[in-house]
A and B are shown apart, each in its own frame.
Chain A
């Protein structure tokens, strides 16, 4: 039975080095490797890798620009990093050996402790990402529209606006909860499905589920990053501009 919590592999004092943290480091390594490989061969006439990265960066930047307009430069790094990090974390969990190769723990009921586990199937990772997303959104909002307008979004002397502001405050909390639990739930559930199907049929039958998980991994990365981008775009737009946009629609 796979546990909700990531299993510790090594304990370093108060810090438990978990199998999901190991995957996090693998993802970091892949991303840093990508950066190094790209910077090594960065040229005016692009190679295959540079071409691919240019295409990806341009597509994501254009998408951010179409949503956030002039704030695209600030939002884009968060959008793209969330996407790349979550996508790699989701997909590395599908590699052979993840959640299957490990060691047994316990004396009476021996349970398998996998050495590797998808980083996004650890609630600490998804909650951390959601918190970074929320905090960055609010910092960006203050720096873009100013503290007065930022606070004006939540607090007002008008009772109707005050009520809406309180709802907005609650929604800020629920954003973190929904972002973290959606990603964690989807990836964890996927792992459970794969583990179950894999334990019943070893060959061929798990393949469609693997394909489904590839899609789920991509979709979840897109959902998380695009929601972050949308929240950032909305909170970085002054109230009167929002009203203008609504009235022109």
Chain B
């Protein structure tokens, strides 16, 4: 105890120093370490979140670019197909039109032929009728003085029958 006294040991001062240190410990813990550590944690979280978001964005961008490529190639394929289809359709349409035209022309030709033949027949008929009338007139005029009226009629009818045959 004497040694401690020589070193200036004072129980009251010792207690005061202990209390003083505990107060300082509390103040530093509550108002220095906690805010600083919280700030560091917050910053670490922010950086982690930022890095995670950047990584996600990078992956999304890569995915989007890949999808864009896919969509573009699909669109190109579809465009090619559409052009091919359009070409085929055009060719088919042209063929159809050609065939229709050909059929219509043939039909028109047949109709025209029929009409011509019908008209020819009618003309021939009319010509025959006109020739019969003319022959009757010629015969009537020429036989008028040579045969009686009854014979005249028989002769003319016979002649006309022969002509008509």
Contact = CB atoms under 8 A, between A and B. Distances in A.
Chains A and B belong together in one complex: yes
A32 B36 CA distance: 15
Nearest to A43: B39
B18 A80 contact: no
| Contact-size category for B | 20 to 34
B137 interface: no
B49 interface: no
B23 to A, nearest CB: 8
B14 to A, nearest CB: 5
Interface of B is mostly: helix
B17 A80 contact: no
A77 B37 CA distance: 11
Contact of B32 (A3, A35, A78, A127): A35
A172 interface: no
Interface residues of A, number: 43
Nearest to B46: A44
A29 to B, nearest CB: 10
Interface in A48-89: 50, 53-54, 57-58, 61, 76-78, 80-81, 84-85
Given A57-B40, A129-B21, A123 B9 contact: yes
Interface in B1-50: 4, 6-10, 12-18, 20-25, 27-29, 31-33, 35-37, 39-40, 42-43
Interface of B: 4, 6-10, 12-18, 20-25, 27-29, 31-33, 35-37, 39-40, 42-43
